[in-house]
Amino acid sequence: MFKDIKYRITESEVGAIIALAAFDASAEGTAKEVGKYQSSDNLHFFGWVENGEILGICGFEVHSDKAEIHLIAVAADKQRQGIGGQMVSALQGLYALPIEAETDDEAVGFYRKRGFETTAFQHPQWGVTRHICVLELSPNPNNTRPVPGFGVSYVKPTITRPNIIVGDFTYYSGLDFESRVTHHYEFYGDRLIIGKFCQIADGVEFIMNGANHQMNAASTFPFYILEHWMQNAPPLSELPDKGDTVIGNDVWIGQNVTILPGVHIGDGVIIGANSTVGSDIESYTIAAGNPAKSLRKRFDDELIALLGVFKWWDKPIDEIQMFIPLLYDSDLERVRRELKERLK
C-alpha cells in the first residue's frame, strides 16, 4: 500500500533506502535529506508498505499542474519486483496529475521503462548529463498495476518467459500471470500468444503441451520422468503436440476457465466461467461449458467482418480514446454505419 510515512522518516530502515537514491549517500547527506522533508509541509514523503514493512520510499511535491518526484527508491533486497512502478502508478492515481522527475544516466532507464518521455540536458553547475522525465496522463501498457490498490495487472510487462507473447493492455485479475501457464517447457518450443486488450479473470489456466503423455503406445505412464525406472525419454515426435495456443484481441475469459494446448481463440470471443476449452472458437462467439461449445455469435457476419478489418486494438492510444463511445454503443446499426464510413 502507498501511504504517508513521513512520521517514520527517522527510522534506520528508511534512512537506508533514502541513501540508495540521495545525491549524497553518506550518513550526513541522508540526514540532510531527512531534515528537508521534516521541515517542509510542501514536501510529501510516502512509502510502499506491506505488513508494516517499508519496501520503498517516494518523496515528492504536488503543484497545480504536476506531481514532481524528488526521491524514489526501493529497499535493496526488494528491487526488481515492480515496487517502484507501483509507487509511480499509485502517485498518479492519487493526484490525477502528470508526473515529472529529474534523474541521472544510471536511473533514467527506470523512468523510460514506465512510459516517461525523457529529455537530456547538461547541468550548468555540475557539468554532467541529467534527464527530465515526464509521464503524462495517458494509458501506459508498461504499468504493471493499472488499478492502484487492487490486484489487477497488465500482463505484458510482467512476462519473463520468451515463449509467452502478450499484447498491450491485456490484463489479468491477479498479480502472477505466469503461474497460470502450466506445463510450459522450453524444449517443446510451443508458445502462448495473446493479443491486445484481453480481459483474463482470476483462476484461468493455460495448459501447454508439456502436460501431454505419449498416447500411441500400450501405456501412457511416463516412467522416464520418475526416478529409478529404466526408460529413456521418448523423442518429441512420439509425444502429442498441438502447437501454439493463440488468443486473439479483445477476448474476455471468465473465472476459472481452463484452456487446453493448441487452442486458437478468435478476436472478440467471450468464454463463460468454469469452461474447459479444447477446440478452436471463431471470432465474436460466446462459448461456455465443459467441453466449451459455441452458444451463439455476438453479431451478424457483416458486423464481425467490419470489426475484423477495422482492428481498433491496433490504433494509437489517442485514436482509441476517441473510439470509446463507438466501442460502447449498444446501437449496433449505428456502429455498423460508423465503421463503414471510417473504412471508406
Q: Which residues have a catalytic role annotated?
A: 213
- Continuous segment of H or E residues that includes residue 324: helix 317-327
Q: What cell does 32 get? A: 540532510
The CA-to-CA distance between both ends of the chain, in Å, stands at 49
Establish how many alpha carbons lie within 13 A of residue 151's alpha carbon, considering only the half-sphere containing its beta carbon. Answer: 8
C-alpha cell at 106: 544510471
Name the residue among 305, 291, 303, 297 with its Cα closest to residue 263.
Answer: 291
Q: Closest Cα to residue 3, out of 51, 34, 46?
A: 46
Question: Rounded to an integer, what distance in angstroms lies between the CA atom of residue 60 and that of residue 73?
Answer: 12
b/e sequence 55-78, b meaning 16+ C-beta within 10 Å: bbbbbbeeeeebbbbbbbbbbeeb
Cβ atoms within 10 Å of 299's Cβ, excluding its own: 17
Write the CA distances from 222 to 132, 210, 243, 314, integer angstroms.
58, 12, 21, 44
Give the alpha-carbon dihedral of 10, 16, 17, 20, to 10 degrees. 130
Cell numbers 535529506: residue: 33
